Amino acid sequence: MKKLNGKVVVITGASSGIGEAMAKEYAKVGAKVVLGARQADKLEALCKAIEADGGQAAWIATDVTKQEDCKALIELTVERFGGIDVMICNAGISMRALFDDLDLSVLHRLMDVNFWGTVYCTKYALPYLQQSKGSLVGISSVAGIHGLPGRTGYSASKFAMTGFLETIRIENLKKGLHVMVACPGFTASNVRFSALTADGSQQGSTPREEGKMMTAEEVARIVAKGIRRRKRLCLMEAEGRATHFVKKFAPGLVDKIFYKVMAKEPDSPLK
């Protein structure tokens, strides 16, 4: 991660989970981190902790569903540090419900945060990333590679993110911009607890065992490695790599495996 020394890194969804871990890990190696999230108190405390350890950080309350908030995040970054080397679109929410039972407002919410949040931040960060020949990173999921039952809105938003970022990559082939789609496996973070149910309420608990998941710190380190290597797709665990490979030859088999695995979750919406 030492390659991030001196780099200006913008992170959305930075108040907890993967975003918080990236902020701490990257600041430790000398990155200048700029943090955006809705919870101002947590961002302020995180920045103070980073600065107390000798790091450089700035923050601004950011709701990525609001275009003006995303613009303000980028403007603060450029005002404070003069440019952007890495833009990490990490803010995201999940869901757990069958589409049969789902209030469509839940899908709108997922798309607003996961997809449009990425679009808005990319729009305003792009000129500075082109100038620095930097990295644009979207924190996606295996659900953005193959449809995940019980997570229609989540999969749809992550597929949309992937398509958007891949197109940005192609449009910038001659400009030196690096674009990476990062796909963690199930990660021990607050996203699962705040996942939306069929009516839009938060589930408040996770059906999966924390001890068997990736840690947010592991994800942060793997993302940094992917940035250093300027990877296109960053798959972080065996299940994700297997899904990506097997889908090319036997997509129907992946359907059956995903159904079986998700049906085994406690209180699974799959019958």
49-66: pLDDT as tens digits: 999 999 999 999 999 999
Res 166 pLDDT > 90: yes
pLDDT tens-place string over residues 109-155: 999 999 999 999 999 999 999 999 999 999 999 899 898 999 999 99
pLDDT at 245: 86
pLDDT at 203: 66
How far is residue 201's CA from residue 204's CA, in Å, rounded to a whole number? 9
Res 204 pLDDT > 70: no
**Which tokens in the block code for residue 135?**
């990295």
The CATH architecture of the domain made up of 2-244 is 3-Layer(aba) Sandwich (3.40)
Amino acid at 204: G
The catalytic residue positions are 154
Q: Is 21 or 208 the better-scoring residue by pLDDT?
A: 21
Per-residue pLDDT averaged across 223-239, rounded? 92
Q: Is 207 or 263 the better-scoring residue by pLDDT?
A: 263
DSSP single-letter state for residue 211: G
Residue 141, SS3 per DSSP:
coil
pLDDT tens-place string over residues 67-124: 999 999 999 999 999 999 999 999 999 999 999 999 999 999 999 999 999 999 999 9
Give residue limits of the domains in the chain.
2-244
Average pLDDT, the chain: 92
Res 1 pLDDT > 70: no
Q: What are the C-alpha distances in Å from 197 to residues 113, 152, 187?
A: 16, 12, 19
Contact 43, 62 (CB under 8 A): no
Local confidence band at 261 (pLDDT 50, 70, 90 cut-offs): confident
Q: How many residues appear in the chain?
A: 271
Amino acid at 49: A
